[in-house]
Chain A
Amino acid sequence: MEQDAQLVQQCLQGDGSAWEELVRRHTRRIFNICYRFTGNRTEAEDLSQEVFLRVYRTLGSYRSAHGGFATWMTSVTRNLLIDHYRRTKRDRATDSLDDAMPVVENKESSARRPDEQALLGELSQQVQAALTKLSPELREAVILRDLQQLEYIEIQRVLAVPEGTVKSRINRGRIELARVLQQMGVRPS
């Protein structure tokens, strides 16, 4: 974490290699948050680029006293994902009827690239499909807690909500995800 703060300082002094190091250190984590949230690899790559562009432009506003760089970056990512979700809500509404009763077979036959299928195991794909059925608030809470394994306090900073709300969203998110998996036939009734 201290190394991140040092790299940020070097970036602000115009050191390009420090920025490159920061990008290499955080790309996978940011890509994973975006990928788990959208469920689409191409979209996740585009969003990851947008996140880094936004971070690059607002790097001067980062204060290490307010938390780690990774937490700050996660909160930039989260804000961008919510913006993206709202922007594309209308598009999703048109095909929401198709998603009304999600089943594993439908998901398997969806247009997913072969390398994507190889990338994820069967369970991972099922969980990914179930995640996209959750509301964005519950989805982000589960992703941050259980996939990114952030502490409650970090999630609280990222989401900018009270601790009770964080706990409640994580709990509801997990229960909802388990139920969706059951509806998909992944879990026994």
Chain B
Amino acid sequence: MTPMNWTCEQIEARLSDCLDGQLSAEERAAFEAHVRVCAQCAPLFAQVSQLVGELHAMPQAEEAPRLVYAILDKTLGPRETLSGWRALAGWLRNLKPQPVVYGIASVAATFLVIASAFGFSLRKPKLADLSPVSIYRNADRQAHYAYARGVKFVSDLRVVNEVQAQIRDNKAAPGESQDVLPASAPKKEPGSTDGTKPGTRQQNRANGVYHNFEMLAEELPGFVAPFRGRNIR
């Protein structure tokens, strides 16, 4: 049996049959024998063969997500749209199966806390704020600021305590206060110094100032030293 001799026209006509595996063994042998030696058919076969492989491997294009809804609107009619809290709840439900969203949110929150602790302004970010010296200075300033606010808070608490204690003392001895400020006494402006004995209210203020001075002396002895010995009461 003599092998088939195919022409270039035959090769071109049966090219896809060869690629799709639709040639008999004898036809395939004839096809390959021709392609091996033909300068025209060899590159054509190679190109089409490569193209078919690429076409088969080509991924599907993704449609816009709105397309499904547009089709449903066109066929079933417009759907009920959610608004307000229901829309927000729906949006949150969509987030639920995505743990990565929680991860991103917690990383962002941590970053914000650390950045604000180091004095980095997110409203007006500057590259200079990221240098180690700036970070150290900002952190140092923030620490001192926090400490100062803490000291002030404790000091305020102590003043309030002193005032309350003084009020309790005054209530415990009502007779004395009657003597100090009789009902018929002329009305005095707060803080007036007309040479008369100061009233209970003025005395309380003076006591409060004295206590504050004492506490300041404990906190900052160097600052208060020059005032020691003066009569502030």
**B19 contacts which chain A residues (CB < 8 A)?**
174
Stretch among B8-16, B105-113, B166-174, B179-187 lining the A interface:
B8-16
Q: Does chain B have a CB within 8 A of A181?
A: yes
Contacting pair A19 B67 (CB below 8 A): no
Seed contacts A32-B61, A167-B16, A174-B48; 8 additional CB < 8 Å A-B pairs: A20-B76, A35-B61, A45-B67, A53-B74, A56-B75, A124-B59, A127-B51, A147-B58
Q: Which 5 A-B pairs have the closest CB atoms?
A: A146-B55, A171-B16, A31-B63, A56-B75, A178-B47
Contacting pair B48 A175 (CB below 8 A): yes
Q: Does chain B have a CB within 8 A of A106?
A: no
Q: Does chain B have a CB within 8 A of A187?
A: yes
Q: Does chain A have a CB within 8 A of B37?
A: no
Contacting pair A19 B76 (CB below 8 A): yes
**A87 contacts which chain B residues (CB < 8 A)?**
none
Contacting pair A48 B71 (CB below 8 A): yes
Contacting pair A19 B47 (CB below 8 A): no
Q: Does chain B have a CB within 8 A of A182?
A: yes
Residues B52-100 near A (CB distance < 8 A): 52, 54-56, 58-64, 67-68, 70-72, 74-76
Contacting pair B71 A174 (CB below 8 A): no
Interface range on chain B (Cβ under 8 Å from partner) = 20 to 34
**B214 contacts which chain A residues (CB < 8 A)?**
none
A168 to B51, CA, bound (A): 17
**B15 contacts which chain A residues (CB < 8 A)?**
171, 174-175
Contacting pair B61 A31 (CB below 8 A): yes
Cβ proximity bits A167-184 to B, threshold 8 Å, 1 near / 0 not: 110110011011001100
Contacting pair B76 A177 (CB below 8 A): no
Cβ proximity bits B1-32 to A, threshold 8 Å, 1 near / 0 not: 00000000000111111010000000000000
8 Å CB contact of A27 from B13, B51, B63:
B63
Contacting pair A119 B47 (CB below 8 A): no
**A112 contacts which chain B residues (CB < 8 A)?**
none
Q: Does chain B have a CB within 8 A of A82?
A: no
Given contacts A127-B55, A142-B55, A147-B55, contact A45 B70 (CB under 8 A): yes
Contacting pair A123 B54 (CB below 8 A): yes
Contacting pair A187 B13 (CB below 8 A): no
Cβ proximity bits A67-103 to B, threshold 8 Å, 1 near / 0 not: 0000000000000000000000000000000000000
Q: Does chain A have a CB within 8 A of B216?
A: no
Q: Does chain A have a CB within 8 A of B44?
A: yes
Residue of A nearest to B71 (CB): A52
Contacting pair A52 B74 (CB below 8 A): yes
Contacting pair A48 B63 (CB below 8 A): yes
**A177 contacts which chain B residues (CB < 8 A)?**
51
**How far in angstroms is the closest Cβ of chain A from B19?**
8
**B48 contacts which chain A residues (CB < 8 A)?**
174-175, 178
Q: In the complex, which of the residues B54, B71, B75 has the most CB atoms of chain A within 10 Å of its own CB atom?
A: B71
**A45 contacts which chain B residues (CB < 8 A)?**
63-64, 67, 70
Q: Does chain B have a CB within 8 A of A16?
A: yes
Contacting pair B58 A124 (CB below 8 A): yes
Residue of B nearest to A189 (CB): B43
Contacting pair B55 A187 (CB below 8 A): no
Contacting pair A167 B70 (CB below 8 A): no
**How far in angstroms is the closest Cβ of chain A from B43?**
8
Residue of B nearest to A131 (CB): B55
Q: Does chain B have a CB within 8 A of A120?
A: yes
**B76 contacts which chain A residues (CB < 8 A)?**
16, 19-20
Contacting pair A31 B47 (CB below 8 A): no
23 residue pairs A–B, Cβ–Cβ below 8 Å: A16-B76, A19-B72, A20-B76, A23-B72, A27-B68, A29-B60, A36-B61, A41-B61, A45-B64, A48-B67, A53-B71, A119-B61, A120-B61, A127-B58, A146-B55, A146-B56, A171-B14, A171-B17, A175-B15, A178-B44, A178-B51, A181-B47, A182-B47
